[in-house]
Every structure is written in C-alpha cells, then in structure tokens.
Structure 1
Amino acid sequence: MYVRHLQVADFRSWEQAELELEPGATVLIGPNGQGKTNLIEAVGYVATLGSHRVATDVPLIRHGCARAIVRTTVVNAGRELTVELEITPGKANRARVNRGPVPRPRDVLGILRTVLFAPEDLALVRGDPGERRRFLDDLLVLRAPRFAGVRADYERVLRQRNALLKTAGAARRAGSRGDISTLDVWDGHLAGHGAQLLAARLDLVADLAPHVAASYAGIAPESKPAEIGYRSTIAELLPAGYGTPGHRADVEVSTDALLAALVAGRDAELDRGVSLVGPHRDELELVLDGVPAKGYASHGESWSFALALRLASYELLRAEGSEPVLVLDDVFAELDQRRRQRLADVAAAAEQVLVTAAVAEDVPGELATARYSVADGEVRRGYNE
C-alpha cells in the first residue's frame, strides 16, 4: 500500500499543496513552522478521520476559511482509489471515493492505513490512561474499520447515560427519588456496545503483546523485558485467563459481565453522577521488568516503549496482510543513535515511508530516496544542503 498523490486546500497553513509520491522513502525537509507536519497530518486524517495533534477538526481549517479539502490517491495491490474529504467545522464532513459520494465519511476507513510515530507519542507512556485507550481504539479501527461505528455508538450512549445519572443523582441528593426508569435500557445499550469494544481490545492486546516485546528487545537489547496487558474495570467478573491467546474474548460473556457490574455499581454511580465501569475507564498497562513503565521508566526507556508500541502496530498490521504506510514525524532528532538505526532499518524495508525532519542530517542515509524541500509556502522536489 502506498500514497501516490496528495493534494490539500485550505488545510492548516496550506492554501494549496500537491505532491506526487512513490513507493519507498520520501523525506520532507525544512525549518520548523513551514508546514511539513501539516502535510503528513493530512495523510493521517484520511486513514483515521482524526489528527494526532488536536482533538477536533476546527484547527485543521486554514484561518479565515470555511472548509478544508484533503485528496489522496492510494494504491493497494494494484488497485487505485482516490479519496476526497471535505472538512467543515460545525457541519457534517463529506467524503468521496473516485469522485462518487459515500454515505458517511467513515466509509472510507480501511482504504488507507498508516502507522505514525511522532514526538507526541511519549504521552503513550507518560500520559493519562485516555492516551493509551485512544492508541488501542485507533489501532482497532485500522485493523477492522467497523469498530469506528462501535466506538462512536459507545461514546454516544455513554454521554446520554452520564446525563441521566447526573440528573437523577442530583435529584436524590435534593431529597427526591429522581427518574431512573430508563436506566435499565441505557445499561443494556452500554453493555452491548461496550462488550464489543472490550472483547476486541482484549484480543488486540493479546495479539500485539509479542510484537511489543520483540520490538522493545530490538530497540533496547540490554534493557529489561517489556510487556503489555489490559486492566478492565470488570476483571473480577470475567473468567480466569479471559482475553489471552488461549482464551479469546467473547462478546456475550463480556456483555453479561458488564451488565452485572452496572447493576452492582448503580448506587455508587448515582452518587457520583457518572458511569464508573466500562471500556472508557479501562487501562492498557505498560510494564518493564514487572514494574509499571509510567512513573518508573527513564526518559530513554519511555521513548523505547513508545517506539515499540508503534513498531509493533506496524508489524501486526503487516502480518495481517495489508502493509500500512509508515509515517515518521520529526522523530529522528529525538532518538539516540541505536534507536535511530533500529527505526531506520524497519523504515527502509517498508513499502512506503513518509519522513519529516528539520535538517537533512537527522535522517539516516538509508532513507535518502526522494527528498522535498518545504519552505515559504512551497514544496519543491530535491533538497540543497
């Protein structure tokens, strides 16, 4: 899989930009603030319908403009598809494939797969659990695009159930009973969507774990062994070994366990006015030699773990038959020589890798295939030292 063509209009800092791309390595070189990351962010947006830098679409629109356009042509196993996304804050975004409209933007998911490593990834290790849940869910959608709908449905039900809990809880504290007549219905919806998400995350972690261990060992062979695990808010209600390679997760079992947890915790949830169990409160555990990486790992170990998570994602997707585009956003300058070389070795073997760097010296020689200069609002093929 590779991106053959990228075009953006009124996206971030770019009024217009257009690149013809090839398999192999493409390096975008230029000073900070010239728009290199904006271009690879556009590629990532086509793959995930989201940004690795911001939580909403509003900052993606060039200042003073009403909308942004991102258009990519993707080649996969000899088949070529052009995806166009129209991003309009406050309105529904629109999508086209080969110039024909599709019912929903998320129908384009799966046409392009990317795995991106960026300086922000240090938050995967040092940030709050929400960063790690997002990592899992983004990878789930890359692996099976239908989970974009499951994720959206779960978040919608969660918001509505929380609103009911908050209102009913406030009424209770004021001495009234509060109307919880529909809470059982919302429990069922939350358990149904949540069970699909939980079971898929458990299976994903089980499949990803050996790749993480191998990637970390390759990056830091002298370091302690790295492991990942999944800690669920309903772990005590699930069978022993549930969600491990020898005991795959089951949606029906997960649904029953979530429903039981919601019933048992109802009083506490009404008191707090918020849903206390479910995938939205689970955690991806990162462990070094039996100790949580967060709070204990050194700066170098944290970088190694973040890189191992991304490389493991790449290896998992590639092993499942569709090699993703590898995107490396200004990361070589952050890595020491050993980690830089390990990443370069993987990148050099990728079908396509897109790299950004402030200076050419940051990019290993193996990735010197095609270079573009990004400066003064223009992208030019070739780079002069």
Structure 2
Amino acid sequence: MMQPQAVSRCEDKPTQAQSSSSQTGEPGHQPMISGLHTLQIQAFRNYPSAELGLQSKAIVLTGPNGAGKTNLLEAVSMLAPGRGLRRAQRGEIGHFSEQLTQNRTDRTKEVQGASWSVFAELSGPEGVVAVGTGQAPEQPDAPRRVVRVNGVASAQTDLARLVTLSWLTPQMDGLFIGAPSARRRFIDRLAIAFDPAHSGRLSRYEKAWRERTRLLSDGQTDENWCASLEKILAETGIAISATRSALIDDINRESGLLASSFPVVNAHLTGQAADWLEAGLPAIDIEDRILLAARQNRQAGLSHMPGPHETDLTLVYKGQSAHLASTGEQKALMIAMVLAHAVLQDKRLGRPPILLLDDVAAHLDPARRAELFSLCSELSGQVWYSGVDAQAFLALREEAQFIAVSDGQLNL
C-alpha cells in the first residue's frame, strides 16, 4: 500500500496574511458577493417549489412555527460549502413528489437532474453571479452535492471564495454547554470566511486522523506508515490551530470596538497545541513536540496525540465561564461574536457576509433588538431575519422586504 505523502513544512500553511485576519485587507483579494438578487428552490424540505425576487438588503421572514422559515434560510445556507445551517445528512433535505421533475423551470435546470436544488443570482461588486447546487437523483449515494457557478461544474470550495454566510439558529443556543466539537465547527466556519484554504486543511487532517486511528485499532503499527500520517497531522494541525488562534484574537479585539450593549467577547482556545501557540513557541518546535508525543504514546499503546482535534473554545463573561451564564447572556455573546466577525469581514476584506438570523430578534429586549438592527444595517451585506411575530420587526418596515411564510408558500 502506498504511504501518504506529508506536505512540506511550508506547504499550504496560512501565510501571515491568511493566519491573521487583521492583515487580510490587502489588495488582490477577490471581491465577495453582498447579497441575493433572486432565489429559486425545488423539492427542498416543505417547499415543492418557490421563487423569490429580492430587492432589499434586509429580508424579514415571518410566519407561524413550522411554516418553513428555517427551511428557507437553510436553502440559502446551502450556497456556502458544507451541510448547511442544520448540518443535514444526505437524503434529509429533499421534498418527495412525483410531479417535481415535470414542473422544473429553466433556472433550476442550472443543476441538471437534481432531486433537490437551490439556484440563486447573487450580486456583488463585479456584477451578478449564478450559483446552483443540489443532489442528483442518478447519484443518490454521492457524498457531495452538485455545484455549478455560472453554468460551470465547480467544487464546494469555490463557493467559499465567492460568498460568505454566517448564521445564528435556535439549535446553536446550547453552543457553550454542548460538546467541544460543535464549538470547533463554529469557529472553523468563521475562519473559512477569511481563509478558504482552511476548509481543505480540515479535510486533510480529518482524513489522516481517521486513517491513523484505523491503523492503530487494527494493530497495524508499521513505523513508517504511522510516522507519515503523524507528520501530516502535525504540519496540517499547527496550520489549523494558527488560523483559529489569529481569528479569535481579532474577534476579541473587534468586539471591544463595537458601540453597543452587547457583551465584549473574551474568547480563548484551550488544548495542548493551542497552549503552545499562545506561549509563543515557533511552529516548527510545536510540530516537533506533536510528533514526539504521538510517537511516544503510540509506542506505549496509546492513540492520543496533541492537535486541533482536542481544542476547545472558551469564553469568559463577568468573570466566569460562559457556560454558567444565563440563556439570554449566552445568546447575546453569540450575537456579539457573529457581529464582530461580520464587521471584520466588511472592514478588512471588503467581503461582507450574508447573515442568516433565525428567530434571534424575538428573544431580545426592545433596546437590544434595536441595537441589533442598527448594527446589521451598517454592514454592507444582506441580512435575513426570521420570526413568528412581524411586530418585532416594525423598526425595519422602511428598509426591509417582508415575506410571509405559510406551509411552504411565500407571499410578498
């Protein structure tokens, strides 16, 4: 069996500009999309078919619980790499109807034959870009969905270079008290906005980690094979950790500059690799420490090795861990992080994110809700809100496009 090839110590690591988002405002970065101009979906959750023409920077979806507001936001989130805001598994998204293939319009054929599809025209500094994505029925077991940009077959990583989406959903309310893996996914999603290559490093790390775990569990301890995998893990892992660390530092800093009553973010990364970075050790020394620990543990019959897989995101609020804060305080911290991240993109990259705020405004008091609307209106990217009560969004009535959602039907 061919052994994996470890990347060189300088290959595919974030440059200083990539690993610190404060440095990424240099010329040469591709202008990003600022919002959706049209949206069309087919066979998506409770939507057999739906089409929207969008004219505003603020979009408000209102309707009863179960009407399909979150489903529509999820459809928009599929314009970014990954599994969307629900982290849906393959086969969970499609709306099954025998008539759907007969009712497709020309635009949804952008993704030929998909059993579900999302098509959007996105506007940005360089004009309109057409993006289609979906699941092809002739490939029901395909691990990845189809992506086309301006009619050309593309990879999901191409989406990361084109459009950035950030979201907050009720399912994320327990982020600070849930599993560390959810917090890692959260910070990685934010990091990809500044460094799309971060996604590839994560995939490479996860693949090597699974392979090493399988070898050790099968009792295959070939030194050269294991050492090759551990080298990939050490080199890729330190690049992942450096990207995360730089972003957290910038979010902390930017949060302190926001003129609002939302809490100032005081976030830190914990874990052996993160601690070594925080101590200022050179990357090459950290890699050597990771390799030494991996080899020693393996020879002792242990599988553990330091790396980004053990990193956790911790926040301090009013002198204590955020997981001890009230539900409302945790919600405010989440909003503060997402807003600081959005401002960073807008100010330093000229890459405004599209924000998807699912049922967020309704849980804020009137003063803080007004602050949220004001801060979001200062961003140059599109913001989508959803909620049951349209009255909660009256402050946006002059600037927002209101869409009533009812059982998979949209009314402007």
TM-score, normalised by the number of residues in structure 1: 0.85
Percent identical residues: 30
The Cα of 1:25 is off from its aligned counterpart by 1.2
> Using the alignment, how far apart are the partners of 2:292 and 2:359 within structure 1?
47
Partner SS state of residue 51, structure 1? coil
- Secondary structure of 1:72's counterpart equals strand
Q: Give the C-alpha shift of residue 203 in structure 1.
A: 1.2
Residues 55-114 of structure 1, C-alpha deviations (whole Å, 9 max, x = no match)? 423312224687211111111114211111122452142211111222x23222221212
Are the aligned partners of 1:123 and 1:131 in contact in 2 as well (CA < 8 Å)?
A: no
Q: Show the counterpart of 1:95.
A: 147
Change in CA separation of 1:204 and 1:186 when aligned onto 2, cut-off 3 Å: same
Residue 358 of structure 1, CA deviation:
1.3
| 1:282–1:212 Cα change, 3 Å | same
| Cα distance in 1 for residues equivalent to 2:167 and 2:190 | 11
- Structure 2 counterpart of 1:319, one-letter code: K
Does structure 1 residue 256 correspond to structure 2 residue 288?
A: yes
What letter is aligned with 2:237? G
> Aligned residue for 1:73?
121
- Cα contact 1:140–1:201 (8 A) shared by 2: yes
Matched, 1:29 2:62: yes
How large is the RMSD of aligned CA atoms in angstroms? 2.4
Alignment equivalent of 2:405, drawn from 359, 374, 385: 374
1:364 Cα deviation (Å)? 4.2
Deviation, 1:120, is 2.1
- What SS is found at the alignment partner of 2:379? coil
Q: Following TM superposition, by how much is the alpha carbon of 1:363 offset from its aligned partner in structure 2, in angstroms?
A: 1.8
Distance 1:251 1:17 in 2: 50
How has the CA–CA distance of structure 1 residues 166 and 64 changed in structure 2, closer, same or farther, with 3 Å as cutoff?
A: farther
Name the count of aligned residue pairs: 357
1:48 corresponding residue in structure 2: 81
Structure 1 position 48, deviation (Å): 3.1
Q: Which residue of 2 aligns with 1:149?
A: 200
Alignment of 1:1-385 (within 5 A): 1-63=34-96, 67-88=115-136, 89-91=140-142, 92-102=144-154, 104-168=155-219, 179-215=222-258, 218-220=260-262, 226-235=265-274, 237-238=276-277, 240-241=279-280, 251-267=283-299, 270-271=301-302, 274-294=303-323, 296-320=324-348, 321-351=350-380, 352-366=382-396, 369-381=400-412
Q: Distance in 2 between matches of 1:260 and 1:334?
A: 49
**Distance of 1:118 and 1:203 partners within structure 2:** 25
CA distance in 1, matches of 2:252, 2:84: 25
**Aligned-pair CA distance for 1:30:** 1.2
Residue deviations 1:17-38 (CA, integer Å, cap 9, x gap): 1111123211111111121111
Structure 1: 5+ residue stretches without partners:
172-177, 243-249
Distance 2:63 2:345 in 1: 31
Partners of 2:238 and 2:273 within 8 A in 1: no
CA deviation vs aligned residue, 1:306-353 (integer Å, no higher than 9, x gap): 111111111121122111122211111222223322211112333321
One-letter code aligned to 1:231 = T
Q: Could you list the per-position Cα deviations for residues 145-177 of structure 1 after superposition, in whole angstroms to 9, with x for gaps in the alignment?
A: 122211111111111111112222xx8xxxxxx
Distance 1:260 1:149, change over 3 A: same
SS of the equivalent of 1:52 reads: coil
Judge conservation of contact 2:230–2:291 (CA < 8 Å) in 1.
yes
CA 1:235–1:349: 2 relative to 1, 3 Å = closer
Deviation at 1:237, TM superposition (A): 4.6
d(CA) in 1 for partners of 2:119 and 2:299? 50
**Counterpart residue identity of residue 48, structure 1:** P
Matched residue of 2:163: which SS?
coil
More moved, 330-339 vs 315-324: 330-339
Distance 1:219 1:159 in 2: 44
Conserved 8 A contact 2:273-2:307: yes
Gaps of 5+ in 2: 1-33, 99-113
- Quick check: 1:47–1:110 contact (8 Å CA) kept in 2? no
Q: Give the match's secondary structure for 1:33.
A: coil
Letter of the 1:363 counterpart: F
Preserved contact between residue 226 and residue 289 of structure 1 (Cα < 8 Å) = no
Contact 1:69 1:87 in 2 (8 A): yes
Q: Any conservation in 2 of the 1:348–1:367 contact (CA below 8 Å)?
A: no
- Tell me if structure 1 keeps the 8 A contact 2:40–2:51: yes
Deviations 1:254-303 (A, max 9, x none): 433422332343346x33xx444210110112112442211x21222211
* Distance in 1 between residues matched to 2:280 and 2:97, nearest whole Å: 54
Q: Is the 8 A contact 1:85 1:105 kept in 2?
A: no
1:372 Cα deviation from its structure 2 partner = 1.2
SS at match of 1:218: coil
Match of 2:108 in 1: none
Q: Distance in 2 between matches of 1:260 and 1:132?
A: 28
Instruction: Mark the CA change 1:259 to 1:367 in structure 2 (over 3 Å): closer, same or farther.
Output: farther
